[in-house]
Amino acid sequence: MTMMKSLFQTSIQPKVALALVSFFLGQLGDGLNIFQGIYLVALGWNEGSVGIALSIMGFTALLVQTIAGDIIDKTHFDRRSFLSIASVATAFSASAILFVHEGNVDHVLMYTTKFIEGISSSFIGPCVAALTLATFGPDVFDEVMASNIFWGHVGCILSAVLAGAVSYVLYPNIQYCFLVIGFSALLAVGSVQLLPEGDALLGRGLQSTHHSQNTNSSSIGSGSGTLDEDVARDTNAKNEECTADYVDMKQQQALELNDEEKMVSSYWTVFADRKTVVLCLTGFFFHFANANVLLVLGELMGGDNDDGSVKRSAIPLIASAIVLAQLTMSGATYVGDILTKRGYGRKPLFLAGLLTLPIRCALIILWKDAGESWLLSTQILDGLGGGLFGLLHPYLVNDIAFGSGRFNVLMGLTASCFGLGGTLSNLLGQIVVEKMGHVASLTGSLLLSVIPIVLFALCMPETLGQRGKSIQQPVTGNGQLV
């Protein structure tokens, strides 16, 4: 087994291995939560109980994501193990819905598993980002993360198609669509074994002395600690070495780890940075305006049976909405990666993504009675906005945090701010729908969507080319981690 694992590791490039992991993890995405909600209502749950179950995951992730990022930063354990455990836990907790009995029962089971899912899913994003940075370094990070995000969208598309097809064919017994995520989890864990461990210090956004000494000085730009292809080649070489020299090298690296971690910046230095504050607030308001729009769109397109369950004809529409958005996100990710390579800055691309939201809200209001096809087409704008936002988020975080040693905790903090906005959007947006109607809720989202555009345009400086230059202030005092 070990020989076979080593053979696969040496024959599959790290970028391809990360793409495989991202593809299978994409099938564990949020799209299936919609089908879980449909199934629970069909079993006899009321909408309030369904909302609580799905919100528990969101609120748990909201609280845990920053902590998860901090753990991934500080850990001396193999981050691949964290990723495997998180993937399996997410899949098993999401599949527990198969054990819910008919009727408005088994609330504790669902609430508990959603709590577990919220914790475990919080580790997946930071682990993938950390392993990417640890293997490829800060300059090639953008290119590989774009590939990861692209294949994650493709995985989500396949998941939605399979779930929608199974749900439609076996309706009303749609529970078997959740077997998709169980199978995906097994494949994801298998793919994780193909990943290199990379450099632990690079994975948290610190320059590694060990690799710096083995990298041509001309490839290290302005103190940014660029390792790029050299790191990937060095990592592949590790997989082929089992000599005493390699063991000695690992022991030396362990000794270096504590010395170099003394250069980690304080939390306050990173969190109080102007760019951090602007990114957190921009993401909060964007998701506050955006998250509820898909729910309202589904309510306008779909329909319910007399018992409150979703009509069979609504299932293909829901799946199509997910697929269309994810397809557009894939295209936006691909185009965004090309434009980034051509030197386009973060700011214009990010603003382009933000601008899609008010246009989308206005079109849904205008076309609310025009038919399902017109409403469905607005998901293209959702895909453009979500695709550019999702692509540039890790770019911006790495621009801000590389050199501070707080890369993953900042990924977690920003994700928590975005999640808070989305959670409040679903909660307050649906209250407005109930009290004032769909148009009022969409009008509120339209007005809110202007805030992140103005905020980012006026307050966020361009960060392209600033990676490794923004925050490099070591912890004072005894130099220990805080």
What whole-number distance in Å separates Cα of residue 452 and Cα of residue 293? Answer: 16
**pLDDT on residue 264:** 79
What whole-number distance in Å separates Cα of residue 55 and Cα of residue 2? Answer: 42
Q: What is the mean pLDDT of residues 335-352?
A: 91
150: in domain: yes
Q: 210 is written with which tokens?
A: 């060990």
Predicted confidence (pLDDT) at residue 262 exceeds the cutoff of 70: no
Q: What is the mean pLDDT of residues 278-290?
A: 94
275: in domain: yes
46: in domain: yes
Number of domains in the chain: 1
222: in domain: no
Domain of 120 in residue numbering reads as: 14-200+264-459
Which amino acid is located at 319 in the chain?
A
Geometric angle at alpha carbon 474, from 470 and 475, rounded to 5°:
130
Mean pLDDT of the chain: 78
- Give the model confidence (pLDDT) of 345-358 as tens digits: 899 999 999 999 99
For residue 262, what is the DSSP state? Answer: G
Helix, strand and coil percent figures for the chain, each rounded to 5: 80, 0, 20
215: in domain: no
Give residue 296's Cα distance to chain centre: 23
240: in domain: no
Q: 237: pLDDT confidence band, cut at 50, 70 and 90?
A: low
Q: 414: pLDDT confidence band, cut at 50, 70 and 90?
A: very high
What whole-number distance in Å separates Cα of residue 284 and Cα of residue 304? Answer: 32
Q: What is the mean pLDDT of residues 401-412?
A: 88
Residue 304 phi, psi (nearest 5)? -115, 150
Q: 228: pLDDT confidence band, cut at 50, 70 and 90?
A: very low
Instruction: Say which residue, 354 or 481, is predicted with more confidence.
Output: 354
Q: What is the mean pLDDT of residues 269-297?
A: 90
2: in domain: no
**pLDDT on residue 217:** 36
- The set of residues, in sequence order, having a beta carbon less than 8 Å from that of 414 and lying 6+ positions away, is 276, 279, 280, 283, 393, 397
From the list 471, 397, 404, 468, the residue with the least C-alpha distance to 221 is 468
Residue by residue, DSSP assigns 360-381 as HHHHHHHTTTS-HHHHHHTHHH
Q: Which of 204-218, 232-246, 262-276, 280-294 has the highest mean pLDDT?
A: 280-294
Give residue 109's Cα distance to chain centre: 26
What whole-number distance in Å separates Cα of residue 430 and Cα of residue 160? Answer: 24
CATH code of the domain in which 136 resides: 1.20.1250.20
- In what helix (H) or strand (E) does residue 389 lie, and over which residues does it extend? helix 379-401
pTM of model > 0.85: no
Q: Of 113-117, 296-300, 348-352, 469-473, give the lowest mean pLDDT range.
A: 469-473
444: in domain: yes
Q: Of 139-148, 169-178, 337-346, give the lowest mean pLDDT range.
A: 169-178
Predicted confidence (pLDDT) at residue 319 exceeds the cutoff of 90: no
Predicted confidence (pLDDT) at residue 230 exceeds the cutoff of 70: no
- Give the model confidence (pLDDT) of 15-61 as tens digits: 888 999 999 888 776 556 667 777 787 778 876 777 777 778 888 88
Q: Residue 16: CA atoms inside 13 Å, Cβ hemisphere, count?
A: 8
How much is the CA Rg of the chain, to the nearest whole Å?
23
Predicted confidence (pLDDT) at residue 214 exceeds the cutoff of 50: no
Q: 338 is written with which tokens?
A: 């090309």
What whole-number distance in Å separates Cα of residue 214 and Cα of residue 203? Answer: 18
